[in-house]
Amino acid sequence: MSDERWLTIDGVEIHDGGACYVIAEIGNNHQGSLEQAKQLVDAAKDCGVDAVKLQKRANRALYTREFFDQPYDNEFSFGRTYGEHREALELRTALRQFLSSSPTQQSVAAIELERTAARFPLSVTASRKRSLDLRPVVRRASSGLGGVLAELVRLSDSGRLERMKICSSDECHWVFYDRSKPGNRRWCSSDRCGNREKTRAYRDRQRRGD
């Protein structure tokens, strides 16, 4: 009896004497975005891999409270503790996903934004001029991020939320407000991200001989 090991994945037989079966590790690089996950899968397919591997985890279920509350002294930190840093990253991802979601994805994106936004509560403030506004409830260093949510509510109330865009540059993906008259900007900065993408597209055409 042969000691050769066999495994079948989606109809493909994998064994010790067969061809190498390549699995691309995407992990958590999708950052919770379905669109980004699809792009990574497409990129892996273009490279000729046989399959991809993805992960999605719930950090609060994975780590202890002590780990979340420990100081996070890093130049790229968005909070004083690791927990605050993670929550800020999750809010950023949820905002990007909500603003860039297609009509079929809006319900899922809205639920995720509501979940992450709950960690950055807002309060109603009233002025003597009988006007109302929203302000972040300051509980910690990262509470100020609630101001971003308050501004989005104002934009939504004024019908300008569609002006919030995600930069099309793969190296950027910044959220920006499109001030152009037709409202069709693709990049947060035409000089930086726009020129970089145009140069890359030109070089790709040159390599293909177009």
The letter for the amino acid at 193 is C
What domain count does the chain have? 3
Which one is predicted more confidently, 70 or 36?
A: 70
Are 28 and 96 found together in one domain? no
94 contacts 103 by C-beta, under 8 angstroms: no
pLDDT at 38: 86
pLDDT at 196: 86
Are 147 and 175 found together in one domain? no
pLDDT at 130: 76
The letter for the amino acid at 204 is D
Confidence of residue 93 (pLDDT cuts 50, 70, 90): confident
Confidence of residue 14 (pLDDT cuts 50, 70, 90): confident
Q: Which domain holds residue 137?
A: 75-159
Which H or E run contains 165?
A: strand 164-166
* % of the chain residues with pLDDT over 70: 98
